[in-house]
Amino acid sequence: MGSKSRTGGVATVADLVHRVASSCLSQRLPGTRTFEEEDEQWSSGSSKEHEHEEEHVDSISIARAIAREKNDEDEEEEEEEQQRLRLLEQEGKDPTSSSSSGSKDQSQSQLHMMDSLLAHVFHSVSAVKRAYRTLQQAHCPWDPHKIHAADAALVSELRKLDTLRDRFRRARMRASTTPASPPPMLSDAVAPYQAALHDLKNNLKLKDAELENLRHRLRHSELLAATVPSKPHSRSHSARWATFSNGLGSVLATAIPQLFEVGMLQMKPASKSFTSQLLALMRAARWDIPATMQSLLPGASSNLPPQHAKFALESYVNSRLFHGFEHESFYLDGSLASLLDPAAFRRSCFSQFQDMRTMDPTEMLGVLPTCQFGLFAATKYLSLVHEKMEESLFGHKEHRQQVMAGIHPRTEFYAEFLRTAKAVWMLHLLAFALDPAPTHFEARKGVEFQPEFMESVVRFATGRVPAGWVVGFAVSPGFRLGNGSVIRARVYLIPRNAGQ
């Protein structure tokens, strides 16, 4: 351990200087000679060599002495720190044992120590900010090597902050005069950076997942481009595109006619599902189904088989939902944006299509009930489900009252309706995003069946429609696309001479 004074206290700096000077003076310093040595120098030829040896020995001795004194200083500093800790502990047990001057010196020492610690903290926080900024810059453009290096640097700086926190805790524990009181935590200062680092890592994982998803979609799109048939009128054309409907819309930068075909393929099951649920409610309410179909669809045959009532009801549902399809807002307002700036309106429609593609309509209207789609859904529901119909089906008019108040009910029936309404709305957005826009047509009653433009909803045993059959009523409209493709209208066929 370090040297002690005769009184048993810790050696002061003056004692150290005195010992170093005494050690140096006790050795022969280089270049110092007495008169007798001068005589010996002239009388002996080996005096210079002896002097060089003494100079070398003296240098080594001085170096060793300085090293010992440095070690002694380190050990004495450690002893002084331990002595201060013991004094602090004694003062904590007996506050009256320390003098006012000792307390003042101790307070100054603590302030100096805290100033130094805060300087290190501020420096470390600045380093964390620089490392975090470097990590952000490494993401654009994407550079995995720079990201890895910046992440390692950020973790290193946070570890330094953690070390400073431990030093702060120890300092507070040593300086505290009330051991029972908890030391303040530095984690409050580090917590925001740790949270930012955690969020950054999560964002990095999300970006990696998004990149992998885009690569997967690109591979599917390339495969799709290789499998599209050269003939646009091929019946399997739409079916092949339907297999890629979940990811194609977000990959493309502009709308294409094939997307409209996909949307039409998705609209059919949604319309059938809602129609089946509505028909089940009618039957549960003991409605006269043939009379109801005659009331809802005057063009329907009076001798319509009961199992075909669903086609008549689906025709009624689609006629209400597709009414006003040719207008840019379904005639909900007098907007003329498609005429004032057609290109900008097409981009806006396709952007809305991409945004809504994966959204649940119920959840979306729960947040934005008065958006354009919300207004469309409310208007179509009031047109589709009459007041007396709703009261008969449910025994109340709560759905209608909530819709008229600007609220979209959260019931299974209304959710099924919203899924169908969204499918029609998405078709409408795609139609006005295309250039040229598709033109829709409907098969009139009594028109002879044309397989190029019509599709029978009833399957025949031979697989082909017999001769002499005509359109009884249209179930859903057809569309002619700008690329020459035709989406056939779905029709219910009856014999030409069948009774009405």
Cα–Cα distance, 161 to 129 (Å, whole number) = 12
Cα–Cα distance, 492 to 500 (Å, whole number) = 14
> DSSP string of 242-265?
HTTTTTHHHH-SS--HHHHHHHHH
Output the CA torsion 365→370→372→378 (10° steps). 80
At 351 the pLDDT is 92
At 303 the pLDDT is 73
Amino acid at position 339, single letter: L
Residue of 420, 433, 261, 239 lying closest to 338 (CA atoms): 433
Cα–Cα distance, 255 to 258 (Å, whole number) = 9
* Enclosing H/E stretch for 375: helix 372-384
Cα–Cα distance, 150 to 137 (Å, whole number) = 9
Sign of the CA dihedral running 298, 303, 309, 315: negative
Structure tokens at 377: 């859904």
Is the bond into 229 cis (omega within 30 degrees of 0)? no
At 319 the pLDDT is 94
Residue of 451, 463, 321, 462 lying closest to 381 (CA atoms): 321
pTM of the model: 0.53
The three-state secondary structure class of 350 is: helix
Cα–Cα distance, 2 to 71 (Å, whole number) = 8
The three-state secondary structure class of 124 is: helix
**How far is residue 125 CA from its own chain's centroid?**
27
* Enclosing H/E stretch for 451: none
Residues 6+ apart with CB under 8 A from 406: 369, 370, 378
At 428 the pLDDT is 95
**Which pLDDT tens digits describe the chain residue by residue (500 residues)?**
444 444 444 445 445 445 544 544 444 444 445 444 444 444 444 444 444 444 444 544 544 554 455 445 545 655 655 565 555 445 444 444 444 455 566 667 767 777 777 777 788 788 888 888 888 888 888 888 888 888 888 888 888 888 878 777 777 666 654 444 444 456 666 777 877 887 788 778 778 777 876 776 676 566 556 544 444 444 444 444 444 454 555 556 678 888 898 889 889 999 999 999 999 999 999 999 988 888 888 766 667 888 899 999 999 999 999 999 999 999 988 888 888 899 999 999 999 999 998 899 999 999 999 999 999 999 999 999 999 999 999 999 999 999 999 999 999 999 999 999 999 999 999 999 999 999 999 999 999 999 999 999 998 888 888 888 999 999 999 999 988 899 999 999 999 876 54
At 299 the pLDDT is 66
Contact by Cβ (8 Å): 216, 130: no
At 492 the pLDDT is 93
Contact by Cβ (8 Å): 477, 318: yes
Name beta bridge partners: 479: 440, 487
Residues 6+ apart with CB under 8 A from 154: 128, 131, 132, 134, 135, 197
* Enclosing H/E stretch for 72: helix 47-93
At 408 the pLDDT is 95
Cα–Cα distance, 472 to 301 (Å, whole number) = 7
Sign of the CA dihedral running 344, 346, 347, 353: positive
